[in-house]
């Protein structure tokens, strides 16, 4: 278990967060967003990166039995215990936009199928002007067409993004409490680690699928920020 003596306060402000200026985010040590569109994720992450101080950024999605978390700690320094000594470490994180721009053919062969499926659904909602979760089985043909286009562009076999997985993401649009609890628990632990600077942080995607009960960490980074 991970413990910290740091106190944490939370802020709540009404309005569309994507319209707030860069200076709004300066008062936070960590920014967590959920159920946001593709463009909103990129925009808020960019604003956090423009600040003179480092602000940790987390984007979380829970779609039915599946969950995803993205982490950007920018240029992050932390310490960890190894045997009897404390080691100082440093990790360079890509932004959300940089991470999802990495060509699929450049990724390790065993990357989670959920990573690819989430990108297809995310892009479909963006192209169609939908809000996150505003999908149904009626969108199946449109999503399969987009999958084909993305796989051809990225030289990826379509079998890496199974029909059944896409259909689950299309139809299971409500948040599933057990999945939210797991993602939320890991998120809380990661925020504490980021603020305290102690312990190995997650880089940079975490996926959970209740169908098999497995949680996976994937480092989706370009050559300049790959661990």
Bridge partners for 71 per DSSP: 58
Residues 177-209: b if buried by 16+ CB within 10 A, e if exposed: eebeebbbebbebbbbbbeebbbebbbbbbbbb
Task: Judge whether 120 lies within some domain.
Answer: yes
Residue 21 belongs to a domain: no
Give the CA dihedral 17, 18, 19, 21, nearest 10 degrees.
Answer: 90
Does residue 12 belong to any structural domain of this protein? no
| pLDDT beyond 90 at 184 | yes
The answer to whether 167 touches 137, Cβ cutoff 8 Å, is: yes
Tokens matching residue 12: 């709540």
Whether residue 9 is contained in a domain is answered as no
Q: For residue 129, what are the domain limits?
A: 27-218
Average pLDDT estimate for 31-57: 97
Instruction: Write the DSSP string, 28-54.
Output: -SEEEEES--HHHHHHHHHHHHTSSS-
Question: To which residue do tokens 């065993």 refer?
Answer: 110
Instruction: Inform me whether the pLDDT recorded for 169 exceeds 80.
Output: yes
> For the domain that residue 214 is a member of, what is the CATH number?
3.40.50.720
The pTM of the full predicted model, rounded to 2 decimals, is: 0.92
Burial of 176 (0-12, 13-18, 19+ CB in 10 A): middle
Does some domain include residue 98? yes
Max CA separation in the chain (angstroms): 59
Q: What is the count of structural domains for the chain?
A: 1
Asked whether residue 4 is domain-assigned, the answer is no
3 domain residue, yes or no = no
Per-chain mean pLDDT for the chain: 92
Residues 6+ apart with CB under 8 A from 17: 33, 40, 44
Indicate whether 16 belongs to any domain: no
Q: What are 15-42's pLDDT values in tens digits?
A: 888 899 999 999 999 999 999 999 999 9
Other Cβ atoms closer than 10 A to 118? 24
């Amino acid at each position: 278990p991970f413990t910290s003596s740091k106190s944490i306060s939370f802020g709540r402000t009404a309005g569309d967060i994507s319209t707030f200026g860069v200076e709004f985010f300066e008062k936070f040590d960590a920014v967590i967003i959920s159920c946001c569109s593709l463009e909103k994720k990129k925009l808020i992450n960019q604003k956090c990166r423009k600040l003179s101080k480092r602000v940790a950024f987390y984007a979380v999605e829970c779609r039915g039995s599946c969950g995803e978390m993205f982490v950007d700690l920018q240029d992050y320094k932390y310490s960890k215990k190894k045997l009897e000594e404390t080691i100082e470490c440093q990790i360079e994180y890509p932004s959300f936009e940089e991470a999802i721009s990495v060509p699929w053919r450049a990724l390790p062969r065993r990357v989670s199928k959920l990573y690819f499926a989430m990108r297809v659904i995310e892009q479909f909602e963006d192209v169609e002007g939908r809000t996150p979760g505003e999908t149904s089985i009626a969108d199946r043909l449109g999503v399969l067409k987009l999958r084909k286009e993305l796989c051809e562009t990225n030289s990826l076999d379509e079998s890496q993004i199974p029909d059944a997985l896409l259909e689950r993401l299309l139809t299971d649009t409500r948040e599933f409490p057990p999945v939210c609890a797991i993602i939320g628990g890991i998120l809380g632990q990661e925020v504490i680690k980021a603020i305290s600077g102690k312990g190995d942080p997650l880089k940079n995607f975490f996926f959970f699928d209740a169908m098999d009960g497995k949680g996976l960490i994937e480092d989706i980074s370009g050559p300049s920020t790959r661990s």
